[in-house]
């Protein structure tokens, strides 16, 4: 009798701690393919005034979703990355060239994603710009659609080369005005619901917004395979989705506003590992 009693008390205690644990990021460690250790929690960069510790969105997801990112074989994004790897050496456009005509292989881009977006010739440039820019100037090929799977597969393939490296984008010098613009957007309340990015992802991360467990809105895992949409999702697509949900008119994918926001949000993840391509709910 006593044994049964003890057991039921233990179960209650366990249930309680699970509920409490759910309120914040969990304590799981992300090690990919049993070898690549990822930083999913670290001290916030100096420019962040209201947050001490930054967490990868992976830490806010359920165990089942987390498991999909632990093994590349289970990560559905890798199918799109494989397609992009084939496209890397496929000739396209009027010049008869492929990516592989100039670049030895995707490995050449190790570290690039960790430092993007960056300012080149006075313009803030994101990965999609680099890809479409080279397609137009070098290959004479049609631009890829911003959030299409060909584009995001290529962004993910390049990002994969930096996986495990800490995000480290520059926010000073030439980047400063863009960064300020991005910060302004981050803290501006949009839409009929009057929500800013910070309303959810800074003031309320760890809480539930209806059925959704709010993360800090980090973008270190983008492009991300979203189970809800069953495909790779671009950063700008997610920005647009969030602003749309505030019932606002949104900025367009590939707009200067979203470039600036991308720089600012990426800088909030300085120190976290690049997780591209991540898997989320």
Partner 1 sequence: MADGVKPRVKVPKTAAAGEAVTIKTLISHKMESGQRKDGDGNIIPRSIINRFVVDFNGQNVLDVTIEPAISTNPYFEFEAKVPESGEFTFTWYDDDGSVYETSKSITVS
Residues designated catalytic: 242
Is 74 near partner 1 (CB under 8 A)? Answer: yes
Nearer to partner 1, 66 or 255 (CB): 66
Q: Which H or E element spans position 43?
A: strand 41-43
Return d(Cα 107, Cα 192) in angstroms, integer. Answer: 45
3-class SS of residue 15: helix
Return d(Cα 250, Cα 37) in angstroms, integer. Answer: 37
Site for partner 1 in 33-72 (CB under 8 A): none
Nearer to partner 1, 85 or 110 (CB): 85
Nearer to partner 1, 75 or 273 (CB): 75
> Token digits for 239?
């920005």
Is 73 near partner 1 (CB under 8 A)? Answer: yes
Among 36, 53, 82, 247, binds partner 1 (CB under 8 A): 82
Q: Which residues of 239-273 are buried (b: 16+ CB within 10 A; e: fewer)?
A: bbebbeebebebbebbeebbbbbbbbbbbbbbbbb
Instruction: Candidates 78-86, 133-141, 150-158, 215-223: pick the segment binding partner 1 (CB under 8 A).
Output: 78-86
Q: How far is the CB of 74 from partner 1 (least distance, A)?
A: 8
Given a contact cutoff of 8 angstroms between Cβ atoms, the answer to whether 95 and 142 are in contact is no
Nearer to partner 1, 81 or 130 (CB): 81
**Count of residues in contact with partner 1, rule CB under 8 A:** 5
């Amino acid at each position: 009798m006593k044994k049964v009693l003890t057991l039921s008390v233990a179960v209650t205690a366990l249930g309680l701690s699970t509920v409490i644990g759910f309120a914040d990021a969990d304590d799981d460690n992300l090690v990919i393919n049993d070898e690549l250790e990822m930083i999913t929690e670290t001290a916030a960069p100096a420019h962040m005034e209201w947050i001490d510790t930054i967490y990868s969105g992976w830490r806010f997801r359920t165990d089942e979703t987390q498991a999909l990112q632990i093994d590349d074989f289970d990560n559905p994004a890798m199918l799109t990355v494989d397609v992009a790897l084939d496209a890397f050496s496929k000739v396209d456009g009027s010049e008869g060239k492929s990516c592989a005509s100039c670049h030895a292989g995707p490995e050449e881009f190790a570290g690039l994603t960790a430092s993007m977006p960056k300012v080149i010739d006075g313009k803030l440039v994101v990965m999609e710009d680099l890809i479409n820019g080279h397609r137009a100037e070098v290959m004479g090929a049609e631009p890829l659609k911003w959030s299409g799977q060909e584009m995001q597969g290529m962004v993910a393939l390049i990002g994969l080369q930096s996986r495990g490296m800490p995000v480290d984008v520059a926010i000073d010098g030439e980047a400063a005005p863009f960064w300020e613009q991005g910060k302004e957007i981050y803290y501006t309340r949009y839409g009929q619901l009057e929500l800013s990015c910070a309303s959810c992802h800074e003031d309320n991360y760890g809480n539930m917004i209806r059925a959704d467990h709010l993360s800090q809105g980090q973008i270190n895992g983008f492009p991300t395979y979203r189970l809800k949409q069953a495909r790779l999702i671009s950063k700008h697509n997610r920005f647009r989705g969030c602003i749309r949900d505030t019932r606002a008119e949104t900025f367009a994918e590939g707009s200067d506003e979203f470039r600036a926001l991308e720089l600012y949000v990426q800088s909030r993840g300085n120190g976290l590992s690049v997780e591209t391509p991540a898997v989320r709910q």
